[in-house]
Amino acid sequence: MIDLFNYDISEKIFLYYANEIGPNNFERIAKTWNGSGKSTIQYWEQVKKFL
């Protein structure tokens, strides 16, 4: 679990999920990365500001 706080390991995990979902489905990638529930909607709104 502590490895998930390592930037390099976390980046590899994120890229795995992004690759599995597809390169152009930013909303699904962000929501999958964030988890589940209502917080994913708020997280997606924050992510969209950077796209």
pLDDT in tens, 1-51: 788 899 999 999 999 989 999 889 999 999 988 888 888 999 999 999 999
CA–CA separation, 5 and 27 (whole Å): 23
Confidence at residue 3, expressed as pLDDT on a 0 to 100 scale: 86
Contact between 33 and 14 under an 8 Å Cβ cutoff? The reply is yes
Report the percentage of the chain scoring pLDDT > 90.
Answer: 69
Q: How is the chain split into domains, by residue range?
A: 2-48
Answer for the pair 34, 13: CB distance below 8 angstroms, yes or no. Answer: no
